Structure formats: C-alpha cells, structure tokens
A = this chain, B = another copy of it.
Amino acid sequence: MTYCVGLLLDQGLVMASDSRTNAGVDHISSYSKLHLFLPAPDRYFVLLAAGNLATTREVVDRIRRDLDRAAVGAFDAPPENLATVNYLFEAGLYIGRVNRDVQLLHGPALREVGAAPEATFILGGRIGHEPPSLLLIYPQGNAIAATPETPYLQIGESKFGKTDLDRFAHPGLSLEDGARLCLVSLDSTARANLTVAPPFEVVLCPRDAMGPSQRLKLDARSPDLTALTESWEASQRQAFAALPAFAWEAPPA
C-alpha cells in the first residue's frame, strides 16, 4: 500500500508521500512515489502515485517517453504531452488516458491471477499564469480537484491520517505548516499500518514559483523527522494526560 497527500494552500502547494511498496507481506521494498516533471519553462508538474507499482511505473515512463519523442521531433511522437497541454485539467486528462492505456494492456493478465492493475494519482502543478492547482486522478481517468473548502486530497491508505487533516488543513496554512501537517498525517498512518513507511518525501511549491522551493526526503533517522515526531508524541501524551475527569470521578486528592 501507499499513502500520499496533497494540500492546496493560498501560499501554494504541498505534496507528500511515503516510500513503501509491498506485494503481500514478504515482498516489501522502497520506491519513490513522487515524480517531478519540468517539461518547459512555463510549467511544472508533481505527480504522486498509488496502486499497482508496475502500472504507476509504466505511466511515468510513458509520460517521459511522450515528452522525449516530441522534444526530438520523432515521427511517432504522440500529439499530446505535458509540454503541449494548456491547462492543468488537460494534463490530468492526459495522465488519466495514459493510466487507462496501461491498465487495458496489462489488466487481463493481472486479473487472471487475482491482481488489480489500477493506479490512482494526485497531480499538482502550474501552467502559465494560472495559479497552482491539485487534482486526484481516478483509475478510470476522471478527476476531482482540491478547493478552498476541501484543501486536501489523499490516495492510498488514507483513513489513518485523515483526522489530522480534517482538524488542521485550511487554505491559510503556511507552506511550512502544510509540510508539518503532511508529515504528522504520514506518521500517524505509518504507525498504524505496516505498508506505509519512511522515507517520506515532501515538496513545497510557492504560489508564484515554477517548481518546488524545497524537496525533502526524510528517512526515519533524519533530524527534521525525528524532531517532529518526538514533539508530536510528547504533545499527544500531554493532551491525553490533560483530559478532564468525568463528572462522577472522585476529584483528585
């Protein structure tokens, strides 16, 4: 499994992912699920991936091939790629179509052995003068967007870390607070579920920038991550100790 989360804030985008993949419980490995594309000076894209690892890998490879073939003027370059789309939602439709193509290619063989070909993506980025936006691209190729009312999107193992997001996510957060929130949500998830684990990757993309201002890869021993999780753990213990007594409890002596 996987857990990825993106925040659409007034100040820009924050996107984060864990790095664990597993096929069953005895085939566990670490893969980056955060992919950065800078296909032209007027645009950038950050793609978070969850689902079948072979599908997500092939989708990323196809996206890069489409860009490369067009860049060298190859006769077989497809007409659309991340450098040609004019809006982020068109980038979402393009990635959704590539995802469908990969699933259609491998789905029949996978389903024969009871495996699922599906993959789900979170796409964040900017094109031209449009502000940054954030999409969740379903395996079927359609997509929803983050909005000021719903500033976060999650894919993968999303339930364990949702309470933190519901409590704190709002468009007024700074990018740094957004990054802390994503890490708290990732940490909550990794504690509860063996299939989600560090390194955690995080990008911060300021609203007016054409790409990330920070790209973090925090393994379990990185000082930034241990400082954050130790602070959170200590605060949680204080929060629990501070809970009020029930009306029927004897007052403390």
Contacts and interface: CB of A to CB of B under 8 A. Distances in A.
Interface of A: 159-163, 166-168, 176-177, 179-181, 184, 188-189, 191-192, 214, 216, 223-224, 227-228, 231-233, 235-236, 238-240, 242-249
A235 B242 contact: yes
Q: What is the oligomeric copy number?
A: 2
B181 A163 contact: no
Dominant SS among interface residues on chain A = helix
B163 A162 contact: no
B166 A249 contact: no
Contact of A249 (B163, B167, B176, B244): B176
Nearest to A190: B163
A155 to B, nearest CB: 15
Given A159-B160, A176-B245, A176-B246, A238 B236 contact: no
A232 B227 contact: no
A179 B249 CA distance: 12
Contacts of A244: 227-228, 231
A234 to B, nearest CB: 9
Contact of A224 (B191, B227, B246): B246
A189 B188 CA distance: 14
Contact of A184 (B161, B216, B240): B240
Contacts of A224: 246-247
A213 B163 CA distance: 32
B232 A235 contact: no
Contact of A243 (B228, B238, B239): B228
A189 B216 CA distance: 30
